[in-house]
Amino acid sequence: MNLKKKASAFLLEKAMEYVSGNPVEKLPKLLKWADEFDKADNWKVQRNLFHRIIDDPQNIWYQYIMGLYNDIDAGVLQTTFRNFLINAVMVGYPMQRKIEEKYDCNIPWAILMDPTSACNLHCTGCWAAEYGNKLNMTYDELDSIINQANELGTHFFLFSGGEPLVRKSDIIKLCEAHPDCQFTSFTNGTLIDEAFADEMLRVKNFIPTISVEGFEKDTDFRRGDGIFKKVERAMALLKEKKLPFGISCCYTSKNVDMIGSEEYFDQMIAWGAKFCWFFTYMPVGKEAVPELMVTASQREFMYNQIRKFRHTKPIFTLDFWNDGEYSGGCLAGGRRYLHINANGDMEPCAFVHYSDSNIREKTLLQALQSPLFKAYRKGQPFNDNHLRPCPLLDNPGALSNIIETSGAHSTDFQNPEDVHDLSGKCFNVAKNWAPVADELWNCSCSCDSCKISG
């Protein structure tokens, strides 16, 4: 890191420390100092954005920021700020782009990896439930992936599975070993107990993202009877201990009206969630239920609802598919993230179970230079309309072509799925979404239902 970046990172961390005691009083003072310091207006756009928020207590993002200070342990908030904004963004992102240019391959900003295929639940339509507890990466393998990623500038890691908290002792150990990295996991939440919450509070760099598919009826429909109440108890425990957490929602044709309702957004905020990842149902695996895929009108409904509530609800939201306009299209293939399954296979995406590289046989950098990841890089973006970002869900034939030309193989060790069969499940869905997405993309007005402004 050069001297200028070091100085900027140091100032940002000190600013965070200064504000933490009294954000209502100190944030405006800090912004005033920034105005006086930035005489050349190098940061005018950013300062104006913060003024719109900080100068207006009625602004929803003012309320969100104050909620972070009020609701989250100061040490955890400080650590999250340092690891996410400074290490992963300010320091890591420029380093990734430099290495990307040197090796002519994608370098990920985040890595999603599965410590295990084991899970204590058997959710409808979940491919992980098919694998059982047969696949696991060792602690040393997980640690090696993180070390290799750090060399590439990557400091943000997500765990999935299976149920990653089956390995919660190893996850805490990884958090201890890498205090400069930010960790999170997609979890069903049922294994979060007081002892684990206390460990989270101790290490400070782990944030769970809990899967909830609506209210009790909707969640238990997919995850099993009684799961909703267990998840609510876990969220109440985290809130009580001032630990941040988010929610992961898979919206399907059965629950989309509930997931996109104002009632549900209000409930997530009441539970104490600070962010929500939205995913649409994908028909991956032998037990997939294509009927659960949303229709074009249902996907449009989520597109509009999420954008509307970003102006009115104090919760940070990300829509994995419908936010392609902000990410410049598909994030996968290492462009911004990749997936490593519990067998060590490096996959372009959590929803694309094909690989030509295993982390036990190649380094992370070598795998990123493999034919599969090179083909992803060459094809991105897969559509000039970034509301149709996905080579599987939105662009029929794109993924099939990548898999065939790269020689990648299915990573489903029980029931390998031909890529043409997988893509065929999405053909009509993609066909129906295309005109809706094109109309949204080509809309030239600036109303909230089209594209979020600023």
Query: What would be the CATH architecture of the domain defined by 99-453?
Result: Alpha-Beta Barrel (3.20)
How would you write 239-262 as a 3-class SS string?
Answer: HHCCCCCEEEEEECCCCHHHHCCH
Residues in Cβ contact with 431 at an 8 Å cutoff, skipping those fewer than 6 apart = 396
Looking at residue 222, what is its pLDDT? 72
Q: Do 364 and 408 contact (CB within 8 A), yes or no?
A: no
The least confident of 119-123, 228-232, 311-315, 428-432 is: 119-123
Does residue 143 have a pLDDT over 90?
yes
Does residue 60 have a pLDDT over 60?
yes
Assign 440 a pLDDT band (cuts: 50, 70, 90): very high
Looking at residue 161, what is its pLDDT? 87
Both tokens of 202, joined, read 């101790």
Q: What proportions of the chain, in percent to the nearest 5, are helix, strand and coil?
A: 50, 10, 40
Single-letter amino acid code for the residue at 119: C
Q: Do 253 and 265 contact (CB within 8 A), yes or no?
A: no
Does residue 445 have a pLDDT over 60?
no
Q: Do 408 and 356 contact (CB within 8 A), yes or no?
A: yes
Looking at residue 44, what is its pLDDT? 80
275-308 CB burial, b ≥16 within 10 A, e <16: bbbbbbbbbbbeebeeebbbebebbbbbbbbbbb
DSSP 441: H
* Alpha carbons 439 and 432: distance in angstroms, whole number: 12
Does residue 177 have a pLDDT over 70?
yes
Domain ranges of the chain: 3-85, 99-453
Q: How many CB atoms lie within 10 A of CB 239?
A: 17
Q: Are strands 206-211 and 275-280 parallel, antiparallel or unpaired?
A: unpaired
* Alpha carbons 216 and 330: distance in angstroms, whole number: 33
* Alpha carbons 157 and 150: distance in angstroms, whole number: 11
φ/ψ of 368, rounded to 5, equals -65, -20
Looking at residue 453, what is its pLDDT? 35
Both tokens of 336, joined, read 């911004």
* Alpha carbons 139 and 219: distance in angstroms, whole number: 32
* Alpha carbons 380 and 405: distance in angstroms, whole number: 15
pLDDT tens track for 250-278: 999 999 999 999 999 999 999 999 999 99
Residue percentage of the chain with pLDDT more than 90: 73
Looking at residue 451, what is its pLDDT? 42
Best CA proximity match to 395, nearest among 413, 376, 408: 376
pLDDT tens track for 1-36: 556 556 666 766 777 777 777 888 888 887 888 788
Does residue 299 have a pLDDT over 90?
yes
* Alpha carbons 175 and 177: distance in angstroms, whole number: 6
φ/ψ of 154, rounded to 5, equals -90, 125
Q: pLDDT averaged over the chain?
A: 90
Looking at residue 108, what is its pLDDT? 98
Which residues pair with residue 187 across a beta bridge?
210
Assign 450 a pLDDT band (cuts: 50, 70, 90): very low
* pTM for the full predicted model: 0.91
Looking at residue 128, what is its pLDDT? 57
